[in-house]
Structure 1
């Protein structure tokens, strides 16, 4: 085929409607993060006793948080694996594969026998399935963000990129809402024996819905054009890390604040609230469900502002406020009142939405089309190693060493690290995705 013929083929590629793009990018990340968050909640409540019963209560909790961190170590590998095929074959088919892997791993956790049934095989298999969750999620976010931004009209990339960023809020709300319902309907014995498995098993039905939506998508016009012009490399991961290592590193560091805000205010705070502050599971989950509404509200607001004023100004303000929020952790959580705890959770999750929303556009804008899936996914998931993988584990250690003020310091340091990275990044609001080199 001639170049003209290939260009014509790209130009006649069926376009995805805005509604279809929004639905497909949103529903996939909502399901994927639902899967991820039900494990986070289970790790704070039940994974330790079920899979590590031979140790003390503190050791059970630390072991559960370590299995939680395994997925974050797998996510960069997932970004390399799915990024390779996403940049070589296309966004659509890769998104379907990542959703299937994540869903299968989550469902299998729901039927995995505990330590009392199969002994040491239980934690071993749990770690393997948790690794599979991380691989799937490592390829999910980048593809969803590219699906949104590469279909976005001029001047609205952050607004379109908001839809995959809304997925975590809804996924978290669904996960915690379901755990809250189970806490209200089941006794502690029933919940620990079998009730905690229900959210994992429901993942299979949700994945079928996501697959139905995504299989109806067309390839993004930006990628179709790049394919027509033979803009492909044999090993996108080598190209990305060889020629675009700086935006990967800076993008990863910019993401650290998002992870630290979220996982300290949810996973660690849930464990601390139930274990040390004396709240029941259902009470603290209810507060989290209320607080995550502020994250959902901040997401479209922050996306609109970053389209209007730029990615950097919004992120600079968000990171600065996040640094200050770390100092609020000790006084608000030490009081232990429902009002002060809910206020702290709401502040942290609101700031999570503020800093997270622009990333749906910023990270894809840092990379050219032929390595965009790999580069954006790598930056997103490498940030999780620093900001999230060990955050609950270290927070548990820090609170034992110096109290909640030390955990708040962890949040402030993470936010300061992201602020420095954002200051080093260029403004990308007006860049043409097809012209990024």
Structure 2
């Protein structure tokens, strides 16, 4: 393949992909944090606290349901027009949705229109995020040197915990500086306004990244898919479903710890908001470190081996997590969140490279975006409500733990089956490393996974 552009440095790739995904996840998780803390009072005050929390978590579901549609839309745009152009649009739309959430009036001010507007704006966030992660991962993977794909694509994935850390710090700072009544009245809006200001920074950094050689060559070739989604469904449906189910456990455990865990800890165990915000901050930090480490490790041991460790850790730690959270001891609860963060990171770190290596270039943006977002709907969209409702019915966290354990088994099976489903995807899966169990060769040809 003829090189059309100079490959950007690893530092530039990391800055571009990590900044964008961090901003988008900052905005996305700001909603989830506010839903756990105040949205049941601000937008659903006529319901009892537990029902209000379930309704507030409904916005999480709306965002995740919108993400596959955003993945299909921006995947088509990214596979047809270019990776870089799609990433500019997704970040801009996320800024609009986030600004709106920060400014939408409360239920006391405009009545039923408040939760309606909240859900519409959450829909915009979901559409944008549906195309963001896939594009950021893809432009990094296609620019990466052979044998470094897992390490580099773990950086845009780490935007998830980094965005969570930043949003948590904002909420923690606001709740510490102002009274509870002021926080419920206006303080929770500040992180959303800050998120809008960061969008411009992300757009500037992304302007420095050139389009990938894969995309340039694809646009010149006769193999360019006019309807990437149709080609994907016709030729890679099994791969798509397996990639989605591979994400299931990560989504279940993440929201069991982050959203349901915070709500359970504050409302049932009696921890303060601030103490659990600090715990989730440590959860996010360990999640971040584990993503980066496991992505690097997957270049040496193979994607599957590393992810199997994450699934096994999820299966054996989720019951101890809830038991430790229920102890009433803050120090023990902090250790529980640290443990959950590590388990989540090992499932998610190699996931981006795994997906990139499962689809050829002409449907890669659409394939990896839909793989993640469908997995998000299955594993994340309704899990907070599912956990909360099961707790309401049983007054026990055991059903939530059981859901997570079952999801770990399902995801491990999906990863195990993925190589067979994609055995003839591009004729080079084994040589690039990574769906198989053999580590990639350091001198693997640069075009091995290029379609």
User: Which TM-score tier does this pair reach, normalised by the shorter chain?
Assistant: over 0.9
**Cα contact 2:76–2:228 (8 A) shared by 1:** yes
What does residue 145 of structure 1 align with?
Answer: 137
Structure 2 unpaired stretches of 5+: 421-428, 433-445
How far off is 1:13 after superposition? 2.2
Q: How do 1:99-118 and structure 2 match up within 5 A?
A: 99-118=91-110
Deviation sequence 1:300-351 (CA, Å, 0-9, x none) = 2211211001011111121112111222234212212112211221111111
Partner of 2:202: 210
Structure 1 distance, partners of 2:447, 2:130, is 22
1: CA distance between counterparts of 2:219 and 2:177? Answer: 53
Residue among 74, 80, 85 paired with 2:66: 74
1:389-400 equivalent positions in 2, closer than 5 A: 389-400=381-392
Aligned to 1:97: 89
Equivalent residues of 2:431, 2:448 under 8 A apart? no
The answer for the alignment partner of 1:331 in structure 2 is 323
Q: Which residue of 2 aligns with 1:351?
A: 343
Classify the secondary structure of the residue corresponding to 2:247: helix
Moved over 6 A (4+): none
Correspondence for 1:426:
419
Which residue does the alignment assign to 1:243?
235
- Cα distance in structure 1, aligned partners of 2:115 and 2:448: 46
The whole-number CA distance in structure 2 between the counterparts of 1:183 and 1:193 is 11
| Correspondence for 1:60 among 46, 52, 71 | 52
CA distance in 2, matches of 1:429, 1:222: 19
Structure 1 residue 59, shift from structure 2 partner = 1.7
Q: CA separation in 1, counterparts of 2:53 and 2:82?
A: 41
Give yes or no for the alignment of 1:305 onto 2:297.
Answer: yes
1:296 pairs with one of 288, 297, 301: 288
In the alignment, what sits opposite 2:8? Answer: 16
Query: Could you tell me how far 1:429 is from its partner in structure 2?
Result: 6.4
Distance 2:371 2:413 in 1: 16
Say whether 1:39 aligns with 2:40.
no
Determine if contact 1:307/1:429 at 8 Å carries over to the other structure.
no
Deviation at 1:436, TM superposition (A): 6.0
Map 1:158-307 onto structure 2 (within 5 A).
158-307=150-299
SS at structure 1 position matched to 2:152? helix
Contact (CA 8 Å) 1:113, 1:122: kept in 2 or not?
yes
Q: Does 1:361 align with 2:362?
A: no
Which of 254-263 and 332-341 deviates more? 332-341
Shift of 1:294: 1.1
- Matched with 1:4 is none
How many pairs align? 429
Q: Using the alignment, how far apart are the partners of 2:407 and 2:450 within structure 1?
A: 29
Is 1:405 aligned to 2:398, yes or no? yes
Q: Secondary structure at the residue paired with 1:63?
A: helix
Q: Which sits farther off after the overlay, 423-432 or 39-48?
A: 423-432
**Helix, strand or coil for the counterpart of 1:276?**
helix
Higher deviation after alignment, 182-191 or 53-62: 53-62
Partner of 1:3: none
Which runs of 5 or more residues in structure 1 are unaligned? 1-6
Q: Distance in 2 between matches of 1:292 and 1:118?
A: 35
Q: CA deviation at 1:229?
A: 2.1
SS of residue paired to 1:252? helix
- What is the distance in 1 between the residues matched to 2:258 and 2:234? 36
Measure the CA separation in 2 of the matches of 1:188 and 1:180: 12
Does structure 1 conserve the Cα–Cα contact (< 8 Å) formed by 2:4 and 2:216? no
Alpha-carbon contact 1:369-1:433 (below 8 Å) kept: no
Q: CA deviation digits over 1:368-387, x for unaligned, max 9?
A: 00000000000000001111
How far 1:435 sits from its partner (Å)? 4.3
Greater displacement, 14-23 / 138-147 = 14-23
Q: For the residues of structure 2 that align with 1:387 and 1:41, how far apart are their CA atoms?
A: 18
Paired residue for 1:154? 146
Distance in 2, matches of 1:390 and 1:243, equals 29
CA distance in 2 between counterparts of 1:397 and 1:336 reads 22
Q: CA RMSD in A?
A: 1.5
Cα distance in 2 between the residues matched to 1:87 and 1:219: 12
Q: Residue 123 of structure 2 corresponds to which residue in structure 1?
A: 131
**Alignment match of 2:409 (pick from 416, 420, 430):** 416
Give 3-state SS (helix, strand or coil) of 1:181's partner: helix
Structure 1 CA distance for aligned equivalents of residues 264 and 130 of structure 2: 28
For 2:408 and 2:293, locate their aligned partners in 1 and report how far apart those are by CA, in whole Å: 20
Name the structure 1 match of 2:426.
none
